[in-house]
Amino acid sequence: MSTPADDPLGRERGHLAASRAALRAMREDAESLDIKDVTANWVNAQILERQINERIKALADLSDTPLFFGRLDYLHAPGAEQAEGADGERFYIGRRHVHDHDGDPMVIDWRAPVSQPFYRASKKDPMDVGLRRRFGYTRGDITAYEDEHLSDPAEAATTSKLLQQEIERPRVGPMRDIVATIQPEQDEIVRSGLGGTVCVQGGPGTGKTAVGLHRVAYLLYAHRDRLARTGTLVIGPNRSFLHYIEQVLPALGELSVQQATVDDLVAKGIEVRGTDEASAAVIKGDARMAQVVRRAVYSHVVLPTEPVVVVRGSRRWRVPAYELEEIVRELLDRDIRYGAARAALPQRIAHAVLVQMERAGEAPDDRVQDAVARNTAVKAAVKEIWPPVDPAKLVLRLLTDADFLAAHADGILDEDEQKTILWAKPVRSVKSAKWSASDAVLIDEATDVVERTHSLGHVVLDEAQDLSPMQYRAVGRRCTTGSATVLGDLAQGTTPWATRSWDEALAHLGKSDGVIEELTAGFRVPTDVITYASRLLPHIAPGLTPVASVRENPGFFDLRETTDTADVIAACEELLRNEGSTGLIAADARVPALSEALDAAGIGCLAPGEETTEETRLTLVPASLAKGLEYDYVVLDEPQAVVDGEPDERTGLRRLYVSLTRAVSGLIVTHAAPLPQQLA
């Protein structure tokens, strides 16, 4: 059935239907592939089958997700000479590439170079685009469109209503992608090259997390073969946060990116069951501990005082102590991993024996050298000179043996610092030890001194401001030969060891040449809310630029004095009458009482990270877990209690700043106690 020429919306709906049909055909083609006769062995067959299955999953048509969200009409064919009368081309911009049975594109991937003007073209720089069209959707169906004639000087620049609506669309469920709303300054970061590390400082609602995830998706598009070999990883602050963001990349067709916390990376082979006092955690997280650990590892090397005598047949070959010492010192000077040097030592001793054999007129080959390296006398000497080191046992000794710690922390940690990190009670074994998260990082450091950590092609590190220098080193080890995207906000640093500057953080990460970008345009937090929260900035991060909300809707904001928890519950009930999600954020100590009050009122609630549904749209959030999360509406209970829940006022005010900035559409602050004076 044809669409009337005067029905542009009908034509666009027709193109959407045809594109969906083409995507189904692409999926069916992938499902029908027969690989029986095209693989050489079962290993190749399994690899190819997995790749095909991933391709099939990536071609899934999500009915509630727009297949394309924009259109570009170029004045000329991209890449062609802009000659008078040259025909332009039309491209539909979407989440993935779709082509028809002839191979002609029906939807262009948002990451393709030809899609870039959708995000960056403007009236000042139209980038040869005559028309940019944005589409409005309701449950996957096109319901509206909006045009900008970028090359028409008679048309004034305007703010896109559809763009504003998409930004303010209610949030139910996990975090979603922002491919339809990426702004020029965000796009510049997203499309930055794989070779360099980028650090993004962004206040609440500036989209830094989304930018980091979309940069991963872009890099996988632009460098798929390389990253398929080397791997990509997204590191978040906790499991709740990772669960919240886990659907963003699959929605963009990327299924191979791993997610983890720093604790997941370093707690290999040990169980973290203990916690540190803040004072001990700060010292254990200090970069100076890397030098202490390294000294302790290499203290096991003993310079030889006896020769090695190798017996082969009727001949005895003697390598004198002074020559062994030269070999050992050479290996130490090369600054290679402890384990690699230990593995090289028997071969070096064997080579010294072979030199003597050749001088004696023999003609030994590599097999002889290998046999000498395995000789009992050589192995005994290596064990004595360069013994194996167990990283966990080494760290356990540092934390329990005052003399051992003092010997290797001399000139690095003072006596009080050493006493602070020493365990009060003796521990029998590695398994019985109550390791803390900070201890696990020390073990990871020791492990890397012994054996090089595997490096990935690209790592995204979110909420990076909260990491200690030793945690930065642990992450940096995972991308020594790759690059990183570092995301965070210095004003939201809520650990005693929170980083003071991004230059310092990048140095600990091993990426001192990283580029620091700052996002200051706020798309999530309403104007009235961010203006109120920004009163805290002079007290928690005086050097930062306050976020300026670009939302036309100022949002809903209210301060309410309360007498009991019933008033807090009433505020939740009020906000739940709106569409979308609601978060009740409170000091951790107040969460149990609020949970009981919600139960008594018959209001169901979720824990952070659990997916909201149409039936249950309220999440009860301890302030310590609020970072990185967002809700359409928020009730913040007792700001002073949030501040008092932290070990010091500055950290408490930062935690409050985080809690105040989780709302997308409205915020109610309830309090019986006086508000912190910094909010006055």
Check if the beta carbon of residue 659 is closer than 8 Å to that of residue 642.
yes
Judged on CB neighbours under 10 Å (0-12, 13-18, 19+), 336 is: middle
Does residue 215 register a pLDDT over 90? Answer: yes
Give the number of other Cβ atoms within 10 Å of residue 355's Cβ. 14
Average pLDDT of the segment spanning 507-515: 97
Check if the beta carbon of residue 568 is closer than 8 Å to that of residue 537.
no
For residues 648-678, one letter each, b for 16 or more C-beta atoms within 10 angstroms of the residue's C-beta and e for the rest, the string is eebbbbbbbbbbbbbbbbbbbbbbeeebbeb
Check if the beta carbon of residue 492 is closer than 8 Å to that of residue 627.
yes
Quickly tell me which residue has 């913040």 as its tokens: 636
DSSP H helical segments within 577-648, as ranges?
Answer: 591-600, 639-644
Checking DSSP bridges between strand 521-522 and strand 548-549, what pairing results, if any?
parallel
Strand partners, 582: 618, 633
Q: How confident is the model at residue 79 (pLDDT cuts 50, 70, 90)?
A: low
Look up residue 87 and give its amino acid.
Answer: D
Average pLDDT of the segment spanning 530-540: 94
Strand partners, 70: 93, 134
CA atoms within 13 A on the CB side of 137: 19
Does residue 78 register a pLDDT over 80? Answer: no
Quickly tell me which residue has 């050992």 as its tokens: 328
Does residue 404 register a pLDDT over 80? Answer: yes
Does residue 465 register a pLDDT over 80? Answer: yes
Q: How confident is the model at residue 283 (pLDDT cuts 50, 70, 90)?
A: very high
Instruction: Give the whole-angstrom CA distance, residue 307 versus residue 304.
Output: 8
Check if the beta carbon of residue 90 is closer than 8 Å to that of residue 158.
no
Check if the beta carbon of residue 520 is closer than 8 Å to that of residue 489.
no
For 94-139, the pLDDT digits (tens) are: 988 999 999 999 999 999 999 999 999 999 999 999 999 999 888 7
- Three-state SS for 146? strand
Does residue 1 register a pLDDT over 50? Answer: no
Give the number of other Cβ atoms within 10 Å of residue 382's Cβ. 20
Q: How confident is the model at residue 172 (pLDDT cuts 50, 70, 90)?
A: low
Check if the beta carbon of residue 623 is closer than 8 Å to that of residue 587.
yes
Quickly tell me which residue has 């009915």 as its tokens: 63
For 47-74, the pLDDT digits (tens) are: 777 778 877 887 777 777 788 999 999 9
For 347-370, the pLDDT digits (tens) are: 999 999 999 999 988 888 889 999
Mean of all residue pLDDT scores within the chain: 90
Sign (positive/negative) of CA torsion 235, 236, 239, 241? negative
Tokens of 585: 């954020």
Angle, helices 376-385/321-333, rounded to nearest 10 degrees: 60
The reported pLDDT for the residue numbered 36 is: 66
Does residue 673 register a pLDDT over 80? Answer: yes
Quote the percentage of the chain above a pLDDT of 70. 95
Q: How confident is the model at residue 254 (pLDDT cuts 50, 70, 90)?
A: confident
Instruction: Give the whole-angstrom CA distance, residue 26 versus residue 23.
Output: 5
Q: Where are the beta strands (DSSP E) in 527-570?
A: 548-549, 556-561
